[in-house]
């Protein structure tokens, strides 16, 4: 017997009241942050639901993601769906300035970006009045209750892909399991990126006929773009031994710089490209480099690498350039609490990956890479220095690791096609709902 759809709960209604009361304060905070990051006032107002672009004619597939990683992870699927549906357009919404900057140079044809509306009645209503999407696809853990419920009230079929909730999030939702079931019931398809999330959602009461473990979208990520002229210039600027540390977080640069200092005693002339996850931290990182007596140059200041031992690549949207340039990459977020970043981007360039022990966001992925010899775990700065010395002194081993990484990357095409087929089938059969209002 089919379980009746869950109904709105008192906690959901309380959330709506609190969100409405908090709107003025939340808007001031959000607009101030976006303004400080260079977003113009008219684009800031997208978060109030005021669109800055026209809705395209025809079918519109709406994808919502949180920030850079989630937004970029869905681009391959967006492109696949648009190839399958030449009549369709796509809209990607996200909440951060960094995601808008990165997406600006990576959006497929027939695809637009807007900032997501704040999860309050007015912004959500204005957003849907203007865009009127034909389907909504949420990515990872972006579960904004009013946005989700308002979409279903308008008859918009919804899917949740690459769902991932931490143990803490699952534990918190257990306190409001009826509200969780109400939100989960709004989706006609839920696919998780790992078994733990799948089991957790089912334990919370998500419908078994909609929930299953699916492939990780970040395994199907499109290679980031590479400026070939810039790549040629950079290759000429780094003639000796070289490595890169990409997407580093606060607290990791100290260990990376210490590992570099240790490795250069065995590898004379060793140079480092340091790419922070958040370029706004560049001034603090520059001080760390100076404190260790290392010469450096900063990309945002127009400096060429010259003879600087550390090149601080404090820009957004250029990771493809560094993956294509460096023979070996350490991926940040893995020495601290960030949970790691996807190794599939460097794998697209046949670039081997070193990573720390804390990769909870991609535990299954890194297990596969490590087992295939495409990546290697290091426990701390000392282990990182040892690994750098060994691998950079053995180009044949780096080539073998790179080939293994590329093989894993190339194996994802068929899986992407299956995800696209399943999604189109699911959203073509929406849950029963009132007619869409305009």
Q: In three state form, how does the secondary structure of 405-427 look? A: HHHHHHCCHHHHHHHHHHHHHHH
- Residue-wise burial string across 83-109, b where 16 or more C-beta atoms lie within 10 A, e elsewhere: eebeebbbbbbbbbbbbbbbbeebbbe
Name the residue among 351, 280, 302, 279 with its Cα closest to residue 322: 351
Name the residue among 294, 327, 325 with its Cα closest to residue 393: 327
C-alpha separations of 136 from 68, 81, 128 in Å: 19, 13, 11
Q: Which member of 46, 70, 140, 309 is catalytic?
A: 70
Beta bridge pairs of residue 135: 61
Q: DSSP state, 270?
A: -
Distance, CA of 270 to CA of 207 (rounded, Å): 55
Name the residue among 248, 411, 251 with its Cα closest to residue 319: 248
Bridging pattern class, strands 189-192 and 158-163: parallel
Active site residue 70: yes
Helix (H) or strand (E) holding 391: helix 381-392
Q: How far apart are the first and last CA of the chain?
A: 35
φ and ψ of 236, to 5 deg: -70, -30
Q: DSSP state, 326?
A: -
- 196 CB contacts (<8 Å, ≥6 apart)? 167
Name the residue among 131, 135, 99, 102 with its Cα closest to residue 117: 131
- Integer Rg of the chain from CA: 23
- Residue linked to tokens 């990546």: 375
Using a 10 angstrom Cβ sphere, with 0-12 exposed, 13-18 middle and 19 or more buried, the burial of residue 28 is exposed
φ and ψ of 155, to 5 deg: 80, 20
Residues with a known catalytic role: 70
């Amino acid at each position: 017997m089919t379980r009746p759809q869950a109904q709105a709960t008192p906690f959901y209604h309380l959330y709506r009241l609190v969100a409405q009361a908090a709107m003025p304060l939340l808007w001031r905070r959000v607009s101030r942050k976006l303004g400080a990051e260079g977003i113009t006032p008219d684009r800031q107002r997208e978060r109030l639901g005021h669109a800055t672009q026209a809705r395209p004619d025809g079918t519109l597939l709406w994808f919502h993601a949180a920030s850079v990683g989630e937004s970029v992870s869905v681009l391959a699927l967006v492109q696949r769906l648009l190839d399958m549906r030449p009549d369709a357009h796509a809209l990607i919404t996200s909440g951060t300035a960094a995601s808008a900057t990165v997406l600006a140079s990576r959006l497929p044809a027939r695809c637009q970006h807007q900032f997501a509306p704040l999860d309050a009645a007015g912004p959500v209503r204005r957003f849907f009045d203007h865009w009127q999407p034909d389907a909504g696809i949420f990515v990872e853990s972006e579960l904004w209750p009013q946005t989700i419920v308002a979409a279903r009230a308008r008859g918009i079929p919804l899917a949740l892909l690459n769902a991932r909730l931490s143990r803490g999030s699952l534990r918190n939702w257990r306190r409001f399991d009826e509200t969780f079931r109400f939100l989960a019931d709004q989706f006609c398809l839920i696919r998780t990126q790992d078994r733990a999330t799948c089991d957790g959602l089912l334990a919370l009461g998500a419908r078994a006929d909609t929930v299953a473990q699916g492939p990780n979208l970040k395994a199907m990520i499109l290679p980031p773009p590479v400026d070939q002229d810039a790549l040629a210039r950079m290759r000429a600027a780094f003639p000796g031994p070289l490595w890169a540390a990409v997407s580093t977080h606060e607290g990791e640069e100290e260990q990376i710089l210490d590992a570099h200092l240790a490795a250069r005693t065995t590898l004379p002339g060793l140079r480092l490209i340091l790419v922070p996850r958040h370029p706004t931290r560049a001034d603090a990182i520059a001080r760390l480099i100076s404190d260790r007596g290392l010469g450096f140059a900063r990309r945002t200041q127009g400096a060429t690498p010259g003879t600087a031992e550390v090149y601080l690549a404090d820009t957004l949207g250029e990771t493809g350039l560094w993956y294509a340039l460096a023979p070996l990459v350490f991926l940040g977020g893995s020495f601290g609490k960030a949970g790691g970043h996807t190794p599939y981007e460097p794998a697209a360039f046949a670039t081997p990956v070193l990573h720390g022990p804390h990769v909870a966001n991609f535990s299954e992925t890194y297990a596969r890479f490590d087992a295939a010899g495409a990546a290697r775990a290091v426990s701390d700065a000392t282990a990182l220095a040892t690994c750098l010395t060994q691998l950079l002194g053995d180009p044949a081993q780096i080539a073998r690791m790179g080939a293994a990484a590329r093989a894993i990357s190339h194996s994802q095409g068929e899986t992407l096609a299956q995800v696209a087929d399943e999604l189109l089938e699911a959203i073509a059969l929406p849950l029963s709902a009132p007619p869409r209002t305009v």
